[in-house]
Amino acid sequence: MGDIAVEKSFFYHLRSLLPVEISVPQGLMKNVLVSVGYFRFRTRLAAKGAEVPDLDLYRPLYVPWEGQPEFKQYYDLIRPHTLVSPDRCWILLRFLQHARQLPGDFAEFGVFRGGTALLASHVLRQADDRRALHLFDSFAGMPQTSPGEAFEKGDFSATSEATVRSLVAPTGANVVFHPGYIPDTFADAGINRLAYAHVDVDLYQSVLDCVEYVYPKLVPGGILIFDDYGFPCCSRAREAVDQAFSSRQEKPIYLPTGQAFVMKLA
Ligand SMILES: C[S@@+](CC[C@H](N)C(=O)[O-])C[C@H]1O[C@@H](n2cnc3c(N)ncnc32)[C@H](O)[C@@H]1O
């Protein structure tokens, strides 16, 4: 136990000495291959003469989040305000569009500076859809965390409700703010049905509380998507998802983006 505490403290403090966004040059080789036309050539060969629309977005598989015009139009607007990578935002966009066909409100749990909330606002506004988008966050950072978590109380405090309000207001979407700590803010939220819930809260207890709140309200076909499932800093969030669904009929589907989702069965 002592060793774990020392180890956590070592990595936690080491990370605080480094820049917040450490970019690993894992895409470097891919970028070089793109710029020399390797993937274009490879795609033509692999297609064996068949027509391939969006040829430049095969690297080697189709990667629409790297330039598909509809997505780019949304992502360029949210990029400065989100921690969520383009591939994950692409998944969110598709689930938002899916959920628009269903009855029920949309909700996000874990908003921080509002980037992924802005994506949902734009999708609703673009479709002239007046359903509510509910935003849950303390807007003052993490609550008390549990043992084994890579975060501390107060992390993500560099935001405010006013900042996010002014970000989403120009979209004209019907955004409802629920500032404060989850689950306290659930009591008076007044939500009956949900078609889309994005849970991006990183912590074991916060994830569990969100599932208990969202699941009964999710309409058949509704989407519950977890941002943090596959990230090493959020292994306790994964534990919470697995625990919450161990006794439910839906099985969380893990994506190579790090996200996991559940589509509510009837
Ligand atoms: C990773 S950030 C969200 C990132 C955001 N979706 C984006 O687009 O960048 C996680 C957020 O969850 C919030 N959070 C975690 N647990 C919470 C709780 N129990 N109550 C309120 N907010 C919580 C934190 O305050 C933080 O703003």
pLDDT tens for each residue of 108-121: 999 999 999 999 99
pLDDT for residue 13: 66
Q: Whose alpha carbon is nearest atom 22 of ligand 1?
A: 137
* Mutational test site, ligand 1, from 112, 116, 144, max ligand atoms within 8 Å of CB: 112
Q: Whose alpha carbon is nearest atom 13 of ligand 1?
A: 110
pLDDT for residue 46: 93
Q: Quick one: average pLDDT of 72-91? A: 97
pLDDT tens readout for residues 35-69: 999 999 999 999 999 999 999 999 999 999 999 99
Q: What is the 3-state secondary structure (H, E, C) of the chain?
A: CHHHHHHHHHHHHHHHHCCCCCCCHHHHHHHHHHHCCHHHHHHHHHHCCCCCCCHHHECCCECHHHCCHHHHHHHHHHHHHCCCCHHHHHHHHHHHHHHCCCCCEEEEECCCCCHHHHHHHHHHHHCCCCCEEEEEECCCCCCCCCCCCCCCCCCCCCCCHHHHHHHHHHHCCEEEEEECCCCHHHCCCCCCCEEEEEECCCCHHHHHHHHHHHHHHEEEEEEEEECCCCCHHHHHHHHHHHHHHCCCCCCCEECCCCCEEEECCC
**Mean pLDDT, rounded, of the chain:** 93
Q: Whose alpha carbon is nearest atom 6 of ligand 1?
A: 111
Q: Whose alpha carbon is nearest atom 25 of ligand 1?
A: 141
- List pocket residues of ligand 1, CB cut-off 6 Å: 82-84, 110-112, 115-116, 137-138, 141-143, 156, 181-182, 200-203, 206
pLDDT for residue 2: 45
pLDDT for residue 8: 56
Q: Per-residue pLDDT for 199 more than 50? A: yes
pLDDT tens readout for residues 203-226: 999 999 999 999 999 999 999 999
If one compares 26 and 171, the residue with the highest pLDDT of the two is 171
pLDDT for residue 266: 87
pLDDT for residue 1: 41
Which of these CATH numbers, 3.40.50.300, 3.30.200.20, 3.40.50.150, 3.90.1150.140, describes 64-263?
3.40.50.150
pLDDT for residue 105: 98
pLDDT for residue 17: 65
In ligand 1, the atom with minimum distance to the C-alpha of 117 is 8
Domain boundaries, the chain: 1-62, 64-263
Q: Per-residue pLDDT for 4 more than 60? A: no
pLDDT for residue 19: 53
Q: Quick one: average pLDDT of 188-197? A: 97
pLDDT for residue 28: 87
In ligand 1, the atom with minimum distance to the C-alpha of 205 is 19
Q: Whose alpha carbon is nearest atom 15 of ligand 1?
A: 201
* Entry pTM: 0.91
Q: Give the Å distance between the CA of 211 and the centre of ligand 1.
A: 15
